[in-house]
Structure 1
Amino acid sequence: MLSYRDLINGLKDLGIAPTWPLLVHASLSAFGEVRGGADTVLGALMATSDSLMMPAFTYRTMIIPEVGPANNGMVYGSGEKTNRMAEFYWPSLPVDPMIGVVAERLRQHPHASRSMHPILSFAGINVEEALEAQSLEQPLAPIGVLARQGGWVLLLGVDHTVNTAIHLAERAAGRTQFTRWALTPTGIVACSGFPGCSDGFNQVEPVVESFVRKVQVGEATIQALPLARLIEAVTDLIEVQPLALLCDRADCERCESVRAAGH
């Protein structure tokens, strides 16, 4: 069973300075058994970095309209059942379970703040500038702020298919973005700048091989990458290869929309 000290030692082995802001994606189950569970993982992260941010996404607020803009990576009118199950966005709405229990623990922390995007919010501690940078049109702006501050992205037991920083690089390279709609107490809100599919993102591994740091903690691999360098490398890749990092599923509406647009 992993202990708090095991996690601390693993994170220290990555050579991360406490002053570096961290964007974290984490899978608790990937570690195996952890004494104290998600609270222990969060505590180790907070002891490692003074500034911490994680996705607090809430996909269950999404609505599929009957009509909308063309080449938008979705089938309009297909949401009869899912629309009935959609929930209103509130700041207290729990993080989507697929994001992970560690992110939900961070959202619940008494010192944490949360941005206000009704689908793609972030939660964090001591990252107010990043959270305040987010808007409906710029949902990934918080990541850009951390990158400018010398931040790093940590992947705890997960791979690049959940690495939201790559989405920011896609946008910087001019890749097609999408519009999605969210249910809020004031009505249905259009959210532009919605990113594409991430299922193909593990193709980035050769691109980042020279600067990624890795350690093994329990059953999980932890990867650390400097945000600015990652974003620059992926932006350069997509500018040269406009269809790089797309998935190969024929039924992926967003990747097919990118292919149709040519970028």
Structure 2
Amino acid sequence: MPAPTGLMRDLTFTPMTLPRLVEGLLRLGIEPGAVLMVHVRMSAFRWVVGGIDTVVEALREAVGPSGTLLAFTGWEDSPYHVPMWDDWPEWQAAYRAHQPAFDPAVSSARRDFGRFPERLRTWPGSRRSAHPEVSFAALGPGAALLLADQRDDDPFGIDSPLERLCERDGQVLLLGAPLSRLTLCHHAEALTDLPSRRFHTFRAPVAGVGLREYRMIDTFYGAFPYYEDGRGIDSPPRTMAEQAVAAGAGRCTQIGAATTWLFESRPTVAAVRMWLEREFG
């Protein structure tokens, strides 16, 4: 790996190490035995000795052998958007004729989610849920229970990994990641049954199963009309996360150069649902 010459010239900067990272995580309030969903932005640290492997090891040490890590992986080549490509029929035809089937053991996590989901997915002993668009990876003794029986028609809602995270009073860590990465907000959207809620349907090939149809809240244009009626909501996930912060469900600290948030799952979902019902009910 090339030496970080620019950072080496910054005499005020100290590289992040595993012990420093573990100390910061424990100081923030992560407890041994926790069920912890994690979003990571590595660039926020500027430099980590050991890279993403160190981050995974630090998280495992923080939750201990009885704790479980959870990450939203998605699928790098999900056909979620294919029904929206009416102006590009040749793209639709190519995907419908030749897209490889989704295989939880093989298909890559989405790259725009950062390096952590793919690293957790490929970590020895990890498991992955079977939904091609809304798949999760988990590592630890609670992994199988978190990921089991995810529904095709409500992957963020009832019986989802996010519901089971809440049932176990789990936490969500934004390790250098911005508030807009708080995927738990989609669980609140899925549970908030209002007439203005919007859905999206698509089909995907699945290994050993064939072509299947999936229905879920619309996470592209928005599960609710966030951008209409002059609301000016440019980032719905960030706005929802801010509601949770205002309700006292999230707390913040610095771990090295990275601004880091820790959210309690149940109070976060309750605060977001209250806001959704107030805005769109």
Normalising by structure 1, we get a TM-score of: 0.82
Q: Residue type matched to 1:55 in 2?
A: F
Which residue among 183, 206, 211 is the counterpart of 1:188?
211
Q: Residue type matched to 1:239 in 2?
A: E
Q: Residue type matched to 1:180 in 2?
A: F
What percent of counterpart residues are identical? 28
Asked if structure 2 preserves the Cα contact closer than 8 Å seen for 1:65 and 1:79, the reply is no
Q: Indicate yes or no: 2:69 matched with 1:52.
A: yes
Range with bigger deviation, 174-183 or 127-136 = 174-183
> Within 5 A, what are the aligned runs for 1:232-243?
232-242=270-280
Cα deviation, 1:61-107, whole Å, max 9, x if unaligned, reads 316556xxxxxxx4546463366364421121121111121111111
Match of 2:32 in 1: 18
The alpha-carbon distance between structure 1 residues 79 and 9, as it changes in their structure 2 partners (threshold 3 A), is farther
Q: SS of 2:33's equivalent?
A: coil
Q: SS of 1:18's equivalent?
A: coil
Q: Which runs of 5+ in 1 are unaligned?
A: 67-73, 243-262
Q: Indicate yes or no: 2:195 matched with 1:172.
A: no
Q: Give 1:239 deviation, angstroms.
A: 0.8
Q: SS of 2:77's equivalent?
A: helix
Asked if structure 2 preserves the Cα contact closer than 8 Å seen for 1:106 and 1:112, the reply is yes
The alpha-carbon distance between structure 1 residues 82 and 5, as it changes in their structure 2 partners (threshold 3 A), is farther
Q: Residue type matched to 2:203 in 1?
A: W
Q: Give 1:211 deviation, angstroms.
A: 2.9
The alpha-carbon distance between structure 1 residues 16 and 63, as it changes in their structure 2 partners (threshold 3 A), is closer
Q: Which has the larger radius of gyration?
A: 2
Which residue among 148, 156, 169 is the counterpart of 2:167?
148
Q: How many aligned positions are there?
A: 236
> Within 5 A, what are the aligned runs for 1:181-260?
181-185=203-207, 186-197=209-220, 199-204=235-240, 205-209=242-246, 210-242=248-280
Q: Distance in 2 between matches of 1:29 and 1:191?
A: 34
The alpha-carbon distance between structure 1 residues 183 and 79, as it changes in their structure 2 partners (threshold 3 A), is farther
Normalising by structure 2, we get a TM-score of: 0.77
Q: SS of 2:112's equivalent?
A: helix
Q: Distance in 2 between matches of 1:201 and 1:147?
A: 18
Q: Which has the higher contact order (CA 8 A, sep 6+)?
A: 1
Q: Give 1:148 deviation, angstroms.
A: 0.8
